[in-house]
Amino acid sequence: MKATTPRLARRIEELLKLKRTLLARIEAKLSEKEVKEARNDHHARRKPRPCGMTIHTGIGCNLGCLYCYVPDMGFPLRPRPYPLTGLQLVYALLYNPYFVPGPSGTLLAFGSVTEPFLAETKDRAIEYLYYTYAYLGNPQQLSTKSILQGSDLDKLLKSIDPKINILITIVTLKYHRILEPRAPSPLLRLDFAKKLVEHGVSVTLFMRPIIPGVTDREAEEILKKAKEHGIKTVVLGSLRVTPGILRRLGATRIIDLEEVSKRLPRRPRSNRDQVTIIENDLKEYIARKARRIGLMVLPSSCSANIWSHGLWCHACKWGPCGDPANAIRLSEEEIIEAAEVLGCSSPRVKLHNYRVLVRCRGSERRWDVLAVWLETLTRREVRVLTY
Ligand code: SF4
Ligand code: SF4
């Protein structure tokens, strides 16, 4: 186990100073309008989850996957690059009080509500990867079912964090033309994965969403092919449905809707309501196959990000993730000092396994910034209460 050096409180002071310095440096390079746009953007406000901060590289997607919930969220089908420039995005993140810069700071997950490598969005995605790595150095992760080749691939490789984790989504080999009508074929995705692996990039197979009766039946073949293409890790994820997704999947006649409905913990309450179906049995079944084939099964995408960056995390019940040799050793005294730096008065701290409880004096303040900073830097679950 490694000790945190320098002490947590000093690191936080240094990181807060770095944020202020970088913010001023970048502000000097932006126009007043650009600064205003960046400050008003949701990247400047959003609270990251323990698994990191999603970075939107575009708005909308036209690959038309039938299981996609993005159209139900109100995003357009015609994609366009996200409006902020790379420098504005870095500014927005630095302006966000929850954001912790640096290689052990907030995990960044690119893509999320779009495919990052669409013709319309790939340049913006690469620009964001470049700027966030150059200015901030935070751990990067990206999920895709597209491919880049030639000069686009060269540009990508020159722009990324060398320890980036790239998730390549494959959920079917047989039915991709029906279920993912405009996405490149899974075999092309695997070739892309192989090229990335050959360039030293950490690539993970992203088997999400597991479509009952399709993904589980094809799992063995997909996993074997992934292994043959140099992939060593896999993340499994459940299907989320809305009424629209149920309709679209049902219309294909290849999905047994009764099987999907049986797995619903409840019916979606509105057109936008996403409900995750219960698939623990299928996940366990696929995980067993993956292990037998020699792939490491990771509990979630952030876990793949933590592993590829040589970090350690136990911020949720799925942990610990990452290299135990890099587990952060902490004392209650150290957390007390850190909480003080973050504005907590007379902190009282309880550290129990991977859970941290901080009590601050006074009742009026919201302590979520303090909780997010401590959670990010200790990689543990943090609760802050007042007394
Ligand atoms: S690529 Fe992703 S965002 Fe685009 S349609 Fe498919 S699931 Fe949705
Ligand atoms: S413990 Fe693992 S799954 Fe949980 S937040 Fe950390 S990296 Fe993610």
C-alpha distances in Å from residue 29, one per residue of 24, 26, 33: 9, 5, 12
Q: Which atom of ligand 2 is nearest the CA belonging to 379?
A: 6
Spatial distance between the Cα atoms of 144 and 140, rounded to a whole number of angstroms: 13
pLDDT by residue (tens digit) across 197-219? Answer: 999 999 999 999 999 999 999 99
Closest ligand by atom to 67 CA = 1
For residue range 25-39, list pLDDT tens digits in order: 999 999 999 999 999
Indicate the pTM of the whole model. 0.95
Ligand nearest to the CA of residue 146, numbered in listed order: 1
Beta-strand pair 202-207/165-169: parallel
113 CA: nearest ligand 1 atom: 3
Ligand 2 centre and the CA of 52: distance in Å?
9
pLDDT per residue as tens digits for the range 232-249: 999 999 999 999 999 999
Evaluate whether residue 138 is within a structural domain: yes
Closest listed ligand to the CA of 113 = 1
Judge if the beta carbon of residue 130 lies within 6 A of ligand 2. Answer: no
Q: Is residue 250 part of a domain?
A: yes
Q: How far is the CA of 93 from the centre of ligand 2 (A)?
A: 22
What share of the chain has pLDDT > 90, as a percent?
90
CA distances from 53 to 8, 122, 138, 193 (A): 22, 19, 11, 24
228 within a domain of the structure (yes/no)? yes
CB of residue 303 inside a 6 A radius of ligand 2 = yes
pLDDT at 329: 87
Kindly state if the Cβ of 190 falls inside 6 Å of ligand 2.
Answer: no
Q: Is residue 41 a contact partner of residue 92, using CB atoms and an 8 Å limit?
A: yes
Q: Is residue 100 part of a domain?
A: yes
Domain CATH number, residue 86: 3.20.20.70
For residue 256, the CA-to-ligand 1 centroid distance in Å is 22
Q: What is the mean pLDDT of the chain?
A: 95
Q: Total domain count for the chain?
A: 1
Most confident range, picked from 50-59, 142-151, 345-354: 142-151
In a domain, 330, yes or no: no
* pLDDT classification of 4: cutoffs 50, 70, 90: very low
Cα 72 to ligand 2 centroid, rounded to whole Å = 28
Confidence of residue 74 (pLDDT cuts 50, 70, 90): confident
Prior bond to 6 cis, omega within 30? yes
Residue 2 clears pLDDT 70, i.e. is over it: no
- Residue range of the domain that includes 76: 37-323
CA–centroid distance, residue 76 to ligand 1 (Å): 12
Q: What pLDDT does 1 receive?
A: 45
Element (H, E) at 203: strand 202-207
**Residue list, ligand 1 pocket, CB within 6 Å:** 61, 63-65, 68, 70, 114-115, 145, 183
187 inside domain:
yes
Q: Is the dihedral of CA 326, 331, 335, 340 positive or negative?
A: negative
Confidence category of residue 3, pLDDT binned at 50, 70, 90? very low
Q: What is the mean pLDDT of residues 307-324?
A: 95
Distance of CA 76 from the midpoint of ligand 2 (Å): 31
pLDDT tens figures, 271-308:
999 999 999 999 999 999 999 999 999 999 999 999 99
- Residue 188, pLDDT > 80, answer yes
Ligand nearest to the CA of 239: 1
Residue-level pLDDT at 73 = 85
For the stretch 87-133, pLDDT in tens is 999 999 999 999 999 999 999 999 877 899 999 999 999 999 999 99
Distance CA 190, CA 227 (A): 10
The per-residue pLDDT for 364 is 61
pLDDT value of position 6: 55
Atom 4 in ligand 2: residue holding the nearest Cα: 316
Q: What integer pLDDT is reported at residue 49 of this predicted model?
A: 83
- Give the burial class of 158: count Cβ atoms within 10 A of its Cβ; 0-12 exposed, 13-18 middle, 19 or more buried: exposed
Averaged pLDDT for residues 243-265:
95
Burial class from Cβ neighbours inside 10 Å (0-12, 13-18, 19+) for residue 29 reads exposed
pLDDT digits 0-9 by tens, 319-357: 999 999 998 889 999 999 999 999 999 999 999 989 999
- Are 107 and 306 in contact, with CB atoms under 8 Å apart? yes
Nearest CA to ligand 1 atom 6: 65
Q: Does 385 map to a domain?
A: no
Residue 355 lies in a domain: no
Distance from residue 257's CA to the centre of ligand 2 (Å): 32
